[in-house]
């Protein structure tokens, strides 16, 4: 279905809930396309839930839904084909487990210093295809240094923690309030051979840790970032940085202002489509 980009994440979450499977999400211009697959077609119920979601978001009649029948023998193949390796930033490659790297065709260039992350689409946000995840991955690639420590608030699939470790971080603490996300993040960390360096916690925000981190990344949403800004600043080590994403471009000023009020200096704003990633620093002369 085609939806406004600001609604894409909410629609994708609903489709995951309805289908019990991963969905694909792509953006082009001022529209996003969300695709999911079902064994059966509860079309009337799905349309009802989508209409209610659109109304809740103030976007009544903004979703264009199309349903196509696919032969049962073919749908799994089509679903898998929609997930292909993705290059993000300079060195990061995100791929599902059923694709090899380097690729057997010429679909993407491969380099000796590629950092490959294997993530299968499941019931947890973070497969690399959403602009907010890509923005965070690019910011991590520019921010991680050998031996640094990372906190991943709202870790979802664990993709950002895994990327941080593979980019050179010593340890990461990945936190989510969804038990399913925690289970998936643990499995993904093991599949990427970094489980020993990532502590995965079921918790709200940063309540479960007293540590300070060199990098705190929070790819969540505007209200949660605003609510957690003080806690995020308190858990950032002197000289460390915060990477905040999941922010619609129209909310960027609000988040920047909130981070500054928490004692962080905004140093960079990255934009991809209708989404923003804000990078902020905690300087040694910051008084809190």
Question: What's this model's pTM, rounded to 2 decimal places?
Answer: 0.77
Residues 206 and 261 in one domain: yes
Assigned domain for 108 exists: no
Residues 266 and 146 in one domain: yes
Q: Structural domain tally of the chain? A: 2
Closest CA to 202 of 172, 237, 160, 173: 173
- On whether both 151 and 215 belong to a single domain, the answer is yes
Among 78, 195, 57, 184, smallest CA distance to 125 is for: 184
276 neighbors 248 (Cβ within 8 angstroms):
yes
Range of the domain at 13: 2-81
Both 176 and 59 in a single domain? no
Last residue of a domain, one of 51, 81, 111: 81
Q: 236, 209 in Cβ contact below 8 A?
A: no
88 domain-assigned:
no
Model pLDDT, residue 274: 84
Is residue 222 a contact partner of residue 255, using CB atoms and an 8 Å limit?
A: yes
**What CATH number is given to the structural domain containing 247?**
3.40.50.150
Cα distance between residue 286 and residue 288, in whole Å: 6
**How many residues comprise the chain?**
288
First-to-final CA distance of the chain: 47
The reported pLDDT for the residue numbered 125 is 72
CA atoms of 85 and 93, how far apart (whole Å): 7
Do 236 and 169 lie in a common domain?
Answer: yes
Pair (271, 131) in one structural domain: yes
Where among 25, 50, 81 does a domain terminate? 81
Write down the pLDDT at residue 258.
Answer: 97
Tell the burial category of 7 from Cβ atoms under 10 Å away from its Cβ (0-12, 13-18, 19+). buried
pLDDT at 204: 92
Question: Considering 17, 48, 81, which residue would you say is the last residue of a domain?
Answer: 81
- For residue 39, is it within any domain? yes
Domain membership flag for residue 91:
no
Gyration radius of the chain's alpha carbons: 19
User: Are 143 and 51 contained in the same domain?
Assistant: no
Same domain, 147 and 227: yes
Is the same domain home to 77 and 155?
A: no
d(CA 102, CA 82): 18
Q: CA-to-CA distance for 66 and 207, rounded, in angstroms?
A: 43
Reading the chain (288 residues) residue by residue, the pLDDT tens digits are 677 777 777 777 666 656 555 566 677 666 778 776 665 556 677 777 778 777 777 776 667 777 666 555 454 555 566 678 999 999 999 999 998 999 888 778 899 999 999 998 776 677 888 889 999 999 999 999 999 999 999 999 999 999 999 999 999 999 999 998 999 999 999 999 999 999 999 999 999 999 999 999 999 989 999 999 999 999 999 999 999 998 989 899 999 999 999 999 999 999 998 889 999 999 865 544
Verify that 259 and 186 share a domain, yes or no: yes
């Amino acid at each position: 279905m085609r939806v406004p980009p600001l609604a894409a994440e909410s629609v994708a979450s609903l489709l995951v809930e309805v289908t019990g499977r991963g969905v694909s999400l792509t953006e082009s211009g001022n529209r996003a396309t969300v695709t999911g697959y079902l064994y059966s077609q509860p079309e009337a119920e799905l349309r009802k839930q989508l209409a209610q979601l659109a109304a809740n978001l103030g976007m009544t009649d903004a979703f264009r839904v199309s349903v196509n029948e696919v032969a049962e023998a073919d749908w799994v193949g089509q679903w898998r084909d929609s997930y292909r390796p993705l290059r993000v930033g300079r060195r990061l490659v995100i791929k599902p487990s059923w694709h090899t790297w380097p690729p057997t065709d010429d679909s993407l260039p491969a380099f000796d210093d590629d950092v490959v992350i294997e993530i299968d689409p499941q019931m947890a946000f973070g497969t690399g295809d959403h602009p907010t995840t890509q923005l965070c991955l690019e910011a991590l690639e520019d921010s991680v240094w050998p031996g640094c420590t990372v906190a991943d608030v709202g870790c979802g699939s664990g993709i950002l923690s895994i990327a941080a470790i593979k980019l050179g971080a010593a340890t990461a603490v990945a936190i989510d309030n969804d038990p399913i996300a925690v289970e998936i993040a643990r499995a993904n960390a093991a599949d990427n051979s970094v489980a020993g360096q990532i502590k995965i916690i079921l918790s709200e925000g940063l309540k479960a840790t007293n540590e300070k981190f060199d990098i705190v990344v929070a790819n969540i949403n505007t209200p949660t970032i605003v609510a957690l800004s003080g806690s995020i600043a308190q858990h950032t080590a002197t000289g460390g940085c915060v990477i905040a994403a999941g922010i619609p471009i129209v909310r960027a000023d609000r988040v920047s202002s909130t981070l500054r009020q928490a004692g962080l200096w905004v140093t960079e704003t990255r934009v991809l489509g209708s989404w923003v990633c804000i990078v902020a620093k905690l300087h040694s002369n910051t008084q809190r």
